[in-house]
A and B are shown apart, each in its own frame.
Chain A
Amino acid sequence: MARHTRRGIVLVATIGLVTALSACTSGNSGSGGGNNAAAAVPGITATTVTVGSHQPLTGPAAPGYSKISPATNAYFQWVNAHGGVNGRKIIYKVMDDTYNPATTVTVVHQLVQQDKVFAILNGLGTPTHTNVIQFLNDNKVPDLFVASGSTTWNQPQKYPWTFGYQTDYTVEGKVLGSYIKQNYAGQKVCFFGQGDDFGADELAGVKLELGDSGITSAQTYVVTNQNVGPQIGALKAAGCQVTVAATIPGFTALALGTAAQLKFQTQWMVSSVGADYNTVNGLLKVPPLLEGVITCGYLPSTSSDTDPWITLFKQINQQYNNNAPWDGNVEYGMSVGYLFVQALQAAGKNPTRESIVQAIEKGGFTGPGIVPLAFSSTNHSGYTGVQLAKITNGQTVAFGSAYTTDDGSGPVVAYNGTEGAVPPNGIPASG
């Protein structure tokens, strides 16, 4: 009996010692987290700026998305090689969350509380990032350019430190719906989307333009089940002439492939999320399946040979990204990196967390986007529209004009502006 008690206390003391030792050997052990002397901005030193991100680098969600953060980092290396921002080099700490929200919480806590990053940049995923948005806002950490099209990031009252980036799914749906209304009136329109907020938001957008009865058949898939035969079969049975697809690239390929097997002909209109030509083409065993597919996007077409942004990004990709295969993910990563550098410059010579948020809210950034960014003190959403493109002869060729709209019942309006000019050296001019 005495042995038990002795053993118990010894073991308990061991836990205590081990934890204490490990705590002492790494990092400061101030009394709790009470911020004594917060004069120093976390993540900012005289020579560096450190930002963090959570990304699915491994696991079922990794394909494609794992290429975004290396591309962003490549752009940062390019900027660092040219002197950095106001003399500070950018350090990008990316942590793998395997698209598991519990892991996201852990790594974001680690980035904020242990690595003390200046901001979280481009956190990827709707289910993953919704788990950390409250924590980041409570701790007043800039939560910039979330890699997701959910409307959750656009709530400046509730989440003042959070900013979206890519076009909201609902906005996309509205633009596609408006185009269908004008060009395919009277035809049977169907929907094939992911069974989560991505699909639901996009469908809601389409319905805002076409009305609830405008969709003949709406089928959903889940990422855990790669057999979409039943769903495509249902679409074929419904006789769909136009099918809006809110799919990730893998499922775009599966849908197109299965439709070909089942001899289901329809005009596919694919979300920007799942429409990158190089990615989808790499997954299809029959590349001509992509011909004639309509897609949309808010960045220049990746197959363009003349767009100066593409040229710049391809150059950086070659020099600093180990010449990774060029596709929409790489373009996306670098565009986000460019926007962050713009924001950092606008935040001033001695940026603080508050100053970068104010700089973004002031808006006015121009860059590779073919639609404007909507940042203001009342709008944290990001890109406000898309332009449609058609895949012709293996190239994604934009047509018509870009359109912008909001998440609600506002009209779909043509946008006649152009993308921003490429600054010298590809680095935003200091503001």
Chain B
Amino acid sequence: MTGSDAAVAPSAERRKAGGVLRRLAGSPMVGSPARGRTLARHLAIAVVALAIMWYLTDHVEAFYDFQIATIAAYLCVVAGLTVLTGLNGQVSLGHSALMAVGAYTVGLLLSKLNDHNVRAQWTVLLALALGVLTTSVAGVVIGLAAARLRGPYLAGLTLAIVVVVPSIATQFGSLFHGDQGVPVPAPPAPTSLGQFFPQEEWDAWIALAAAGITLFFLANLVHGRVGRNLRAVRDHEAAAQLAGINVARTQVTAFVVSAACAGLGGGVIAVINQSASPDSFALTLSLYLLLAIVLGGLGSLYGAIWGSVAIVWLPYLTNKVMNGLTLSAAEAAKLRGNVPLAIFGLALVIIAIAAPGGIQGLLRRAGRWARARFASRVPQPPSSTGRRPETSPPQGGATHRQAAGPEGLPPTTPSAPTSEVTT
């Protein structure tokens, strides 16, 4: 949004601002029964999903458990990042550095405890919690610095932070062990599960629990007041400020939340990989996180799931394609490593162009198409687009709860503007 655009199309600006104000006016209030329903719904989804994954991890071989664990760990980070970038508009290239903070915290704590022969299961929980805490602090620091920055300037700052990580690890080598990194001696799976219980499955459970908590937390955040504020600031700062939102605090909050998620993800990765080393959290990883949020669907938590799966599975699949070919020595020397890279790059280009809304966008479109096809057979009340219209019709709307209005808002709210229907 440059100033020049505003000069050219003032009506678009006004409409955007208006939309923001309207949305702010008509959202569910905290503590209303609608909020309780949202929470319950999210809880139900989380429980069902975790149950399915618990069953799955028990019935696949160890390598898939490892992949599931890795996906779940990245999911924590990607979910936080998609909220930050998609819903709040802050582009961060530095989340791999935040993951590193979480990972190193977990590693250093577990190493210290291991040195003192403390090896119980609760140490992992403590380490992860501490990782989240330290990363949140880092998030506050960066968030405060970043609150004044926009777009590529924020990207530039966060990129510089990522590049610094290996230097810090080497500079304070006595603490961080430089290039080699810190070993993470997480205690093995509890013996109550059986003597041969695979470590990978236990790691997958830890990772899935972390991902479940993260998604639950973020889903509730996103559907509540904070989420509304985030979107408002992204879309039109001036309007948001007029509506009484503290822009700076919103920005910093968003950053801290996503940082905490990144710290959790990084800590879990450290547990899964049994080590935390600086080169694992280099710029490449930050770019992969960016790929994940775009490929999955920017701003969508479901999109975060698809994105996390994509960044773990796409390289795996491209390698499998490569290994399936039989090559002569000459060909192998040239193609090995490079062909999977080429396929991956090509996949990125194609997916990003063909599906700018990511995989979640594709699914949404498919869903809408399916509904439209089957809707022609069943009479439907005039449905709004994805946005919630601010009120149900003022004439005796109490019985029309079902029309997708913001739950719980009393139908006869005199303050709700009824003259302008949604854009």
Q: A29-B61, A102-B285 are in contact. Are A20 and B329 (CB under 8 A)?
A: no
Q: A16-B56, A134-B274 are in contact. Are A73 and B329 (CB under 8 A)?
A: yes
Q: How far is the CA of A96 from the CA of B37 in the complex (A)?
A: 49
Question: What's the least CB distance linking B149 to chain A, in Å?
Answer: 25
- Is A113 in contact with B48, judged by CB distance below 8 angstroms? no
Q: How far is the CA of A16 from the CA of B45 in the complex (A)?
A: 13
* Chain-B contact segment, one of A103-111, A239-247, A374-382: A103-111
Q: How far is the CA of A136 from the CA of B70 in the complex (A)?
A: 18
Select one of A29, A113, A196 contacting B66, CB under 8 A.
A113
- Is A16 in contact with B53, judged by CB distance below 8 angstroms? yes
- Is A23 in contact with B59, judged by CB distance below 8 angstroms? yes
Question: What's the least CB distance linking A188 to chain B, in Å?
Answer: 27
Q: How far is the CA of A11 from the CA of B45 in the complex (A)?
A: 10
Q: A23-B60, A101-B275, A152-B180 are in contact. Are A94 and B52 (CB under 8 A)?
A: no
Hey, which chain B residues are within 8 Å of A16, CB to CB? 52-53, 55-56
Task: Judge if A393 is at the interface, Cβ distance under 8 Å.
Answer: no
- Is A134 in contact with B275, judged by CB distance below 8 angstroms? yes
- Is B68 in contact with A19, judged by CB distance below 8 angstroms? yes
Q: How far is the CA of A131 from the CA of B340 in the complex (A)?
A: 23
Q: How far is the CA of A29 from the CA of B62 in the complex (A)?
A: 9
Q: How far is the CA of A140 from the CA of B278 in the complex (A)?
A: 27
Task: Judge if A182 is at the interface, Cβ distance under 8 Å.
Answer: no
Q: How far is the CA of A222 from the CA of B165 in the complex (A)?
A: 13
Task: Judge if B181 is at the interface, Cβ distance under 8 Å.
Answer: yes
Q: How far is the CA of A320 from the CA of B328 in the complex (A)?
A: 9
Q: How far is the CA of A29 from the CA of B198 in the complex (A)?
A: 13
Hey, which chain A residues are within 8 Å of B329, CB to CB? 70, 73-74, 77, 320-322
Hey, what's the 0/1 contact readout for A1-44 against B, CB within 8 Å counting as 1?
Answer: 10011011101110110011011000111111111000000000
Dominant SS at the A interface? helix
- Is A5 in contact with B274, judged by CB distance below 8 angstroms? no
Hey, what's the 0/1 contact readout for B297-328 against A, CB within 8 Å counting as 1?
Answer: 00000100100000000011001000100001
Task: Judge if B111 is at the interface, Cβ distance under 8 Å.
Answer: no
Hey, which chain A residues are within 8 Å of B44, CB to CB? 5
Task: Judge if B277 is at the interface, Cβ distance under 8 Å.
Answer: yes
- Is A30 in contact with B61, judged by CB distance below 8 angstroms? yes
Q: How far is the CA of A93 from the CA of B323 in the complex (A)?
A: 9
Q: A23-B60, A131-B274 are in contact. Are A322 and B333 (CB under 8 A)?
A: yes
- Is A58 in contact with B280, judged by CB distance below 8 angstroms? no
- Is A135 in contact with B274, judged by CB distance below 8 angstroms? yes
Hey, what's the 0/1 contact readout for A32-74 against B, CB within 8 Å counting as 1?
Answer: 1111000000000000000000000110001000110010011
Hey, which chain B residues are within 8 Å of A126, CB to CB? 179-180
Hey, which chain B residues are within 8 Å of A110, CB to CB? 63, 316
Q: A58-B337, A96-B340 are in contact. Are A101 and B181 (CB under 8 A)?
A: yes
Task: Judge if B407 is at the interface, Cβ distance under 8 Å.
Answer: yes
Select one of B52, B61, B332 contacting A70, CB under 8 A.
B332
- Is A32 in contact with B178, judged by CB distance below 8 angstroms? no
Q: A57-B336, A126-B180 are in contact. Are A113 and B61 (CB under 8 A)?
A: yes
What is the size category of the interface that chain A forms with chain B?
35 or more
Task: Judge if A412 is at the interface, Cβ distance under 8 Å.
Answer: no
- Is B273 in contact with A9, judged by CB distance below 8 angstroms? no
Question: What's the least CB distance linking B265 to chain A, in Å?
Answer: 12
Q: How far is the CA of A106 from the CA of B340 in the complex (A)?
A: 15
- Is B275 in contact with A324, judged by CB distance below 8 angstroms? no
Task: Judge if A197 is at the interface, Cβ distance under 8 Å.
Answer: yes
Q: How far is the CA of A310 from the CA of B307 in the complex (A)?
A: 50
Hey, what's the 0/1 contact readout for B265-307 against A, CB within 8 Å counting as 1?
Answer: 0000100011101111110110000000000000000100100
Q: How far is the CA of A4 from the CA of B285 in the complex (A)?
A: 32
- Is A12 in contact with B196, judged by CB distance below 8 angstroms? no
- Is A27 in contact with B279, judged by CB distance below 8 angstroms? no
- Is B280 in contact with A100, judged by CB distance below 8 angstroms? yes
Hey, which chain A residues are within 8 Å of B62, CB to CB? 32-33, 113
The 3 closest A-B pairs by CB, nearest first: A57-B337, A33-B198, A34-B196
A residues sitting closer than 8 Å to B (CB atoms) are 1, 4-5, 7-9, 11-13, 15-16, 19-20, 22-23, 27-35, 57-58, 62, 66-67, 70, 73-74, 77, 93-96, 98-103, 105-107, 109-110, 113-114, 126-128, 130-131, 134-135, 138, 152, 195-197, 200, 222, 224, 320-322, 324
Known: A33-B198, A102-B281, A195-B170. 4 other contacts (CB 8 A): A16-B55, A29-B60, A70-B329, A101-B181
B residues sitting closer than 8 Å to A (CB atoms) are 37, 41, 44-45, 48-49, 52-53, 55-56, 58-66, 68, 70, 166-167, 170, 178-181, 183, 185, 194, 196-201, 269, 273-275, 277-282, 284-285, 302, 305, 315-316, 319, 323, 328-330, 332-333, 336-338, 340-341, 363, 367, 404, 407
